Structure 1
Amino acid sequence: MLLLIPIISLLCAPAIWVIFGRPRYVPIWGKAPCRPISVIIPARDEEKNIHTLLTSLNELSVKAHEVIVVNDGSTDRTAEIARDLGAMVFDSKPLPTDWKGKPWACQQGAELATGEWLLFLDADTRLEPKAIAQLRHLTDHENHVFSICPWHTVKRPYEQLSAFFNLLMVVGMNAFSLDRKSIDDTRLVGQCILIPSSIYRECGGHASVRGEILENYQLSKVLKSMGIKRCCYLGKNSVTMRMFPGGLIELWRSWKKGFISGAAEVPGMTIFWTSLWITGMVTATVALALVAAEQTPLFLTLSASAYLIHAMQCWIVFRRVGSFAWYNALLFPVSLIFYHLLFFTAIIDQKRGKTTQWKGREVS
């Protein structure tokens, strides 16, 4: 009976390719049109990130039309740093009771922008030198909205724990599946959204998702109902990010704040294939742990094969979404345990009615 454990693991292994077997990167179609792109950055206590982002914008081979930073009640040097680096900085008006902070800041920035296209960026992102030149190629498609999944730059060991969260967030965009029909239900990534200003006004902008924690998912639904096509790409060599320079507690709180809400928005079939793949990794780990008890050559061979296959898969898919280390893939049970620990903590807190605080505000 123990032989069934590694066999189940091996049977589950192909599931990841069903949902992440067609990676796509920002395409380049002919000569890029010269449509002006306004960059809008909502920023609340982002002094650790804003300098890196704005420096990258200043070093672009093709500059943005304008860079607007909406200072969302920061208590640190966010606004001062942004002004010093040449951005137009506007202090957010008081937060209305029926709005979440990020949609409110984005809406105000959009109302100030004058470009034909609006590029919403989170403060922890960074543009590679040719990014705007690449994105300009997309602006030839006026009935589309685009989103880039930033490539996660990992610098410290604790940041390796983001691997499964980062990967499954990208998979949850429903844009990289082998099933091309699923692309009709593509989601937008909140860190980087490129949208024509005309479509933004037509759909009501962030006002249409004013009270949402994960405004990007809900905005995707609004655009879908209007018949607007959404396209999502991987950001390696164009848009990058470093999410948690502030330590492990920041990492924990950030992933936890929208975890349950985000999972509820992922398409059912994506959840099915994701769960199947995770089941394969769990059973591979269990099988390897049982090798000492079941020392037959066949069990050892199947167990080692299952574990190594899943480790290799993790190495391939982790590197599609970030600079995760080889040892993270080899020791994937560590990141997987952390993922499940946060998952169950989030569920328990939700059942207890406990809210999550983020930068001084209640977000869930």
Structure 2
Amino acid sequence: MTFLLDISALLIAIMLLLASFNFFTLRVVSSNKSAPIEQSVSILIPMRNEAENVIELIAILKAQADLNNFEIIALDDCSIDNTKELLLEISQGNLRVIQGRELESGWLGKNYACHQLATAASGEYLVFLDADVRLNPKAISSTIESMRAWNWDFISAYPRQIAETFLERLTQPLLQWSWFSTLPLRITQKWPQPSTVVANGQFMIIKRQAYFDCDGHNGVKAQVLDDLHLARNLVRAGARGGVADGSRISHCRMYSSANQLIEGYAKSQWSAFGNPLGAFLAISLLITTSILPFAAGLAGEISGWYLYFAIVITRILSGIKTRTIPSASLLHPLSALIWIYLITLSWIKKYRGELTWRGRKL
């Protein structure tokens, strides 16, 4: 037990150092930095069964400020609800609705939809946006202005993750925490390597030239985590950019039910760590840093409690910086157990051929 706790202490010390570094240095997109954008901007939204989001989202996008030349293109990805009908009802002005083609062999649904959107777009900046993301009035102009200031070719402006149910509160903060406590982001962005790139496709802006130079979504057509692999391809092609805190200008509630959350993570976690060995190492890290200290504390090891509170601090720092509620941080061991379950479930479903999303088999 002592040897394992020594390993745990070393790993947690590194994670606490990285979390502290990112707390003070993580790049932040602020609406206070907005300036009029003269270049053309294409806002691209893939939509499959998004009827509940159509009206509110399009209204928000049409009201975006400081964009002097922008278009909105929404693609109906063969929805089986009334997404298309709602889009056509409000299709006027700078909103263009296109019908997505039937899924071609070798493609995943969202990737193919984004590919079609990009080829239909005319803007110098391509804004890829999920339908469940909500933007502040100057979100897009602020983000582009930040790209200019930082000399970036692409940006993943990470939205604030809304968590309402108990299961969401346990799992959703892990999205930011996973990179906030493991990578020195300002350093990896200054000297970029594909293996250290972080990205979230909920709200992503890419310069047109950089997108097509790396073959865009055509280069990640079968990748479940298309956002991450697209960002890696951008870096390989020489583009500069990365993740920034977008919690002050955007928010997103990814899942509205436990079943949807489990299905969503089950479809992607097998791909998150590359292969079974990577998944095993990730699970081992979670056990060593997030579960073992708490278990040791319960068993009477006082050092276990010190380590438990240290890992909780990394969660609190991540939560404060990215504006997620840090109240569930004390339940971090339970969050880690749920994540381990989701990783394991994802691999089981992968090998059984049971992965699905939005009515499509992956």
SS of 2:80's partner is: coil
Q: Contact conserved, 2:297 with 2:303, CA < 8 A, in 1?
A: no
Gaps (5+ residues) in structure 2? none
Q: Per-residue deviation at 1:33?
A: 4.2
User: Aligned-pair distance for 1:16?
Assistant: 2.0
User: CA offsets per residue over residues 308-330 of structure 1, 9 Å max, x none?
Assistant: 2222222222343452341x111
Instruction: Answer yes or no: is 1:106 the counterpart of 2:114.
Output: yes
Amino acid at match of 2:28: Y
The separation in 2 between residues aligned to 1:13 and 1:174, in whole angstroms, is 13
SS at match of 1:264: coil
Answer yes or no: is 1:125 the counterpart of 2:133.
Answer: yes
Shifted more, 13-22 versus 25-34: the winner is: 25-34
Whether contact under 8 Å (1:187, 1:230) holds in the other structure is: no
Question: Higher mean Cα deviation, 137-146 or 94-103?
Answer: 137-146
Matched pairs, number: 348
Task: Verify: 1:224 aligned to 2:223, yes or no.
Answer: no
Could you say what secondary structure the match of 1:228 adopts? coil
Name the residue aligned to 1:25: 28
2:274 is matched by which residue type in structure 1?
A: A
CA distance 1:143–1:156, change in 2 (3 Å): closer
Name the structure where helix makes up a greater proportion of residues: 2
| Structure 1 alignment gaps of length 5 or more | 292-298
Q: Within 5 Å, which residues of 2 pair with 1:272-287?
A: 276=285, 279-287=288-296
The answer (yes or no) to whether the contact 2:44–2:126 under 8 Å persists in 1 is: yes
Q: Is the partner of 1:14 in helix, strand or coil? A: helix
User: Per the alignment, do residues 48 and 319 of structure 1 end up closer, same or farther by CA in structure 2, a change over 3 Å counting?
Assistant: farther
Q: Contact conserved, 1:174 with 1:187, CA < 8 A, in 2?
A: no
Q: Counterparts in 2 of 1:154-165, with a 5 A limit?
A: 154-163=163-172, 165=174
Aligned to 1:239: 250
Shift of the alpha carbon at 1:52? 4.0
Match of 1:202 in 2: 213
2:76 to 71, 77, 83: 71
Query: Which of the residues 53, 62, 72 maps onto 2:57?
Result: 53
Q: Distance in 2 between matches of 1:180 and 1:53?
A: 31
Secondary structure at the counterpart of residue 212 of structure 1: coil
Change in Cα spacing, 1:134 to 1:289, as seen in structure 2 (3 Å) is same
Report the aligned-residue RMSD: 3.2
1:288 aligned residue (292, 297, 310): 297
How far apart, CA to CA, are the structure 1 residues paired with 2:218 and 2:46?
Answer: 15
| TM-score, length of structure 2 as denominator length | 0.83
Partner of 1:338: 338
The equivalent residue for 1:11 is 10
For 2:271, the equivalent position in structure 1 comes to: 261
TM-score (normalised: structure 1)? 0.83
Offset from partner CA, 1:217-264 (integer Å, 9 cap, x none): 33233323322223321211122211002x001000101111111211
Question: 2:16·2:181 contact (CA, 8 Å) conserved in 1?
Answer: no
